[in-house]
Structure 1
Amino acid sequence: MSIVRTALPLVLLTSVLTGCAGLQKTDWPTCAAVGGVVGAGLGATESSAWAGYGALLIGGTAAAYCWVHGDGDEDGDGVPDSRDKCPGTPPGVRVDADGCPPPVPAPVVEEAVVVKEEVIVIRDVHFQFDKATLTASDKEVLNTIATRLKQEASTAQLTVTGHTDSVGSDAYNQKLSDRRAHSVVEYLISQGVPRSSFVSVAGAGESQPVAENKTADGRAQNRRTEIKINR
Structure 2
Amino acid sequence: MQKTDWPTCAAVGGVVGAGLGATESSSWAGYGALLVGGTAAAYCWVHGDGDEDGDGVPDSRDKCPHTPRGVRVDADGCPPPAPAPVVEEKAVVKEEVIVIRDVHFQFDSSKLTPSDKEVLNTVATRLKQEPASARLTVTGHTDSVGSDKYNQKLSDKRAHSVVEYLISQGVPRSSFVSVTGAGESQPVADNKTAEGRALNRRTEIKIDR
Which residue of structure 2 lines up, in the alignment, with residue 13 of structure 1? none
1:68 Cα offset (Å): 5.0
How far residue 220 of structure 1 moved from its aligned partner, in angstroms, is: 0.6
Alignment of 1:156-167 (within 5 A): 156-167=134-145
Indicate the residue corresponding to 1:28 in structure 2: 6
Q: Work out whether 1:148 is the aligned partner of 2:126.
A: yes
The count of corresponding residues between Structure 1 and Structure 2 is: 209
Match of 1:183 in 2: 161
In structure 2, the residue matched to 1:14 is none
Name the CA distance, whole Å, in 2 between partners of 1:104 and 1:147: 43
Q: Indicate the SS of the match to 2:205.
A: strand
Given the alignment, which residue of 40, 46, 57 partners 1:79? 57
Instruction: Spell out, residue by residue over 1:28-72, the C-alpha distance to the aligned partner (whole angstroms, 9 max, x if none).
Output: 122123212321332244245544542343123322443355333
| 2:45 alignment counterpart | 67
Give the whole-Å Cα distance in 1 for the aligned partners of 2:40 and 2:75.
29
2:107 counterpart residue number: 129
Runs of 4 or more, structure 1, over 4 Å off, are none
Distance 1:180 1:119 in 2: 18
| TM-score, normalised via structure 2 length | 0.90
Q: CA RMSD in A?
A: 2.0
Matched letter for residue 136 of structure 2: L
2:19 pairs with one of 31, 41, 56: 41
CA distance in 2, matches of 1:188, 1:75: 70
Query: Mapping of 1:40-119 within 5 angstroms?
Result: 40-47=18-25, 50-67=28-45, 69-119=47-97
Distance 1:175 1:63 in 2: 106
Q: Does 1:200 align with 2:194?
A: no
Shift in Å, 1:228:
0.6
Q: Give SS of 1:226's match.
A: strand
* Equivalence for 1:16: none
TM-score normalised by L of structure 1: 0.82
Q: Which amino acid aligns with 1:197?
A: S
1:213 equivalent among 191, 199, 202:
191
User: What runs of 5+ residues in structure 2 fail to find an aligned partner?
Assistant: none
Q: How far apart in 2 are the matches of 1:103 and 1:81?
A: 20
Secondary structure (helix, strand or coil) at the match of 2:180 reads strand
Q: Which has the larger radius of gyration?
A: 1
Q: What is the aligned counterpart of 1:224 among 184, 202, 207? A: 202
Aligned to 1:8: none
Q: What does residue 98 of structure 2 align with?
A: 120
Q: Deviations over 1:77-136 (max 9, x none)?
A: 442222122234355533212121212222233332211111110000000001111111
- Aligned equivalents of 1:121, 1:70: Cα separation in 2: 80
Matched residue, 1:169 = 147
